[in-house]
A and B are shown apart, each in its own frame.
Chain A
Amino acid sequence: MTVFSFHINGDRVEVAAPDHWTLLEVLRYRLGLTGTKQGCDKGDCGACTVLVDGRPWLACLTLAKSVEGREITTIEGLMPAHRKSGGAGADPLQDAFDRCGALQCGFCQPGMILSARALLARNPRPTRVEIRHALSGNLCRCTGYTQIFEAVESAVAQACGTTTAARAWEAQRERACEREDTP
Chain B
Amino acid sequence: MSARDLHGPGAPWGAATPGSKSNTDFKVVGRALRKLDGLSKATGAALYADDLQLPGMLHAKTLRSPHPHARVLRVDASRALALPGVLAVITGASMPIKYGVIPWTPDENALAVDKVRFIGDPVAAVAALDEDTANAALKLIEVEYQVLHAYLDPFEALVRHDPPIHEDRKEGNISKNVRLEFGAVDEALAGADVVVEDDYEFHGTTHAAIEPHCALASCSADGVLTLWSSTQITHYVHRALAKVLELPPHKIRVVQLNLGGAFGGKSDPFSLEFCVAKLALVTGRPVKMLWTREEVFYAHRGRHPMHLHYKSGATRDGKLTGVDAKILIDGGSYSSFGLVTTYYSGQLLTGPYHFPTYRFDSSRVFTNKPPCGPKRGHGSVQPRFAFEVQLDQLAERLALDPIEIRRRNFQGDFTRTVNGQRVTSNGFLQCLDAVERASGWKQRRGKLGRGRGLGVAGSMYISGTNYPVYPNEMPQAGIQLKLDRSGLVTVFTGGNDIGQGSNSMVAYVVAEELGLKLEQIRVVAADTDLCPVDLGAYSSRVTFMVGNAAIDACRKLRAQLVAAVAQKWACDERRVRLIDGLAIDIEDAARSMTSVEVFQLAESKFDTLGATGSYNTPKLGGDYRGGTIGASPAYSFTAHVVECEVDVETGRVSVVRAWIAHDCGRALNPMIVAGQMEGSAYMGLAEALLEHHQLNRFGLHSGPSLLDYRLPTSVDTPELHALIVESIDPEGPYGAKEAGEGPLHPSIPALSNAIHDALGIRLKHLPFTPGKVLAALRQEQALRPARPHAALDEGSR
Decide whether A and B assemble into one complex: yes
Check if A173 sits within 8 Å of B724, measured CB to CB: yes
Q: Which of A10-68 contact B (CB under 8 A)?
A: 28-29, 32-45, 47
Partner of B707 from the list A44, A105, A147, A169 (CB cut-off 8 Å) is: A44
A-B contact count (CB 8 A): 207
Most buried by A among B22, B47, B679, B711: B679
Residue A70 is within 8 A (CB to CB) of chain B in the complex: no
Per-residue CB contact flags for chain B residues 511-553 toward chain A (1 = under 8 Å, else 0) read 0000000000000000000000000000000000000000000
Partner of B674 from the list A44, A103, A109, A147 (CB cut-off 8 Å) is: A147
Residue A90 is within 8 A (CB to CB) of chain B in the complex: yes
Partner of B678 from the list A39, A109, A146 (CB cut-off 8 Å) is: A146
Complex Cα–Cα for A146 and B22 (A)? 26
The residues of B that contact A104 with a CB separation of less than 8 Å are: 261, 499-501, 675, 679
Chain B residue nearest to A79 (CB atoms) is B43
Q: Which of B597-621 contact A (CB under 8 A)?
A: none
Chain A residue nearest to B498 (CB atoms) is A105
Question: Which of B34-42, B451-459, B560-568, B622-630 is near enough to bind chain A?
Answer: B34-42
Total chain B interface residues with beta-carbon distance under 8 A = 66
Per-residue CB contact flags for chain A residues 115-149 toward chain B (1 = under 8 Å, else 0) read 00000000000000001110111111111111111
Known contacts A105-B498, A107-B261, A169-B674; is A136 also within 8 Å of B38 by CB?
no
Complex Cα–Cα for A167 and B671 (A)? 9
Min C-beta distance of B353 to chain A, whole Å = 24
Check if B713 sits within 8 Å of A105, measured CB to CB: no
Residue A97 is within 8 A (CB to CB) of chain B in the complex: yes
Per-residue CB contact flags for chain A residues 99-119 toward chain B (1 = under 8 Å, else 0) read 111111111111001000000
Residue B717 is within 8 A (CB to CB) of chain A in the complex: yes
Known contacts A42-B705, A142-B499; is A99 also within 8 Å of B48 by CB?
no
Check if A40 sits within 8 Å of B39, measured CB to CB: no
Residue B636 is within 8 A (CB to CB) of chain A in the complex: no
Complex Cα–Cα for A137 and B711 (A)? 11
Chain A residue nearest to B38 (CB atoms) is A98
Q: Which of B473-529 contact A (CB under 8 A)?
A: 498-501
Chain B residue nearest to A43 (CB atoms) is B707
Complex Cα–Cα for A76 and B45 (A)? 7
Residue B44 is within 8 A (CB to CB) of chain A in the complex: yes
Complex Cα–Cα for A106 and B262 (A)? 12
Residue A172 is within 8 A (CB to CB) of chain B in the complex: yes
Min C-beta distance of B58 to chain A, whole Å = 14
The residues of A that contact B442 with a CB separation of less than 8 Å are: none
Known contacts A99-B34, A104-B501; is A143 also within 8 Å of B43 by CB?
no
Check if B260 sits within 8 Å of A132, measured CB to CB: no
The residues of A that contact B499 with a CB separation of less than 8 Å are: 104-107, 142
Q: Which of B40-76 contact A (CB under 8 A)?
A: 41-48, 50-51, 53
Residue A1 is within 8 A (CB to CB) of chain B in the complex: no
Min C-beta distance of A125 to chain B, whole Å = 18
The residues of B that contact A42 with a CB separation of less than 8 Å are: 293, 705, 707
Partner of A100 from the list B21, B263, B671, B683 (CB cut-off 8 Å) is: B671
Q: Which of A135-183 contact B (CB under 8 A)?
A: 135-149, 167-170, 172-173, 176-177, 180
The residues of B that contact A79 with a CB separation of less than 8 Å are: 43
Residue B78 is within 8 A (CB to CB) of chain A in the complex: no
Q: Which of B661-717 contact A (CB under 8 A)?
A: 670-675, 678-683, 705-707, 711, 713-715, 717
Known contacts A104-B499, A169-B674; is A109 also within 8 Å of B41 by CB?
yes
Residue B559 is within 8 A (CB to CB) of chain A in the complex: no
Residue B438 is within 8 A (CB to CB) of chain A in the complex: yes
Check if B209 sits within 8 Å of A141, measured CB to CB: yes
Chain B residue nearest to A35 (CB atoms) is B44
Partner of A103 from the list B42, B263, B717 (CB cut-off 8 Å) is: B42
The residues of B that contact A176 with a CB separation of less than 8 Å are: 21
The residues of A that contact B671 with a CB separation of less than 8 Å are: 100-101, 147, 169
Complex Cα–Cα for A78 and B45 (A)? 12
Residue A75 is within 8 A (CB to CB) of chain B in the complex: yes
Check if A168 sits within 8 Å of B721, measured CB to CB: yes
The residues of A that contact B713 with a CB separation of less than 8 Å are: 135-139
Chain B residue nearest to A107 (CB atoms) is B260
Min C-beta distance of B290 to chain A, whole Å = 8
The residues of A that contact B50 with a CB separation of less than 8 Å are: 28, 34, 38
Q: Which of B278-328 contact A (CB under 8 A)?
A: 292-293
Partner of B723 from the list A106, A138, A145, A168 (CB cut-off 8 Å) is: A168
The residues of A that contact B423 with a CB separation of less than 8 Å are: none
Check if B707 sits within 8 Å of A34, measured CB to CB: no
Min C-beta distance of A115 to chain B, whole Å = 10
Since A44-B706, A169-B671 are in contact, a sample of 19 more A-B pairs with Cβ atoms closer than 8 Å, ordered by chain A residue number, is: A37-B210, A39-B210, A76-B45, A98-B41, A101-B35, A104-B499, A106-B41, A106-B258, A107-B211, A140-B210, A141-B207, A141-B261, A144-B681, A144-B720, A145-B678, A145-B682, A168-B438, A172-B724, A173-B724
State the A residues within 8 Å of B (CB): 28-29, 32-45, 47, 74-76, 78-79, 90, 94-95, 97-110, 113, 131-133, 135-149, 167-170, 172-173, 176-177, 180
Q: List 10 A-B contacts (CB under 8 A).
A: A29-B53, A35-B45, A43-B707, A74-B44, A94-B43, A141-B263, A144-B720, A145-B678, A147-B678, A172-B434
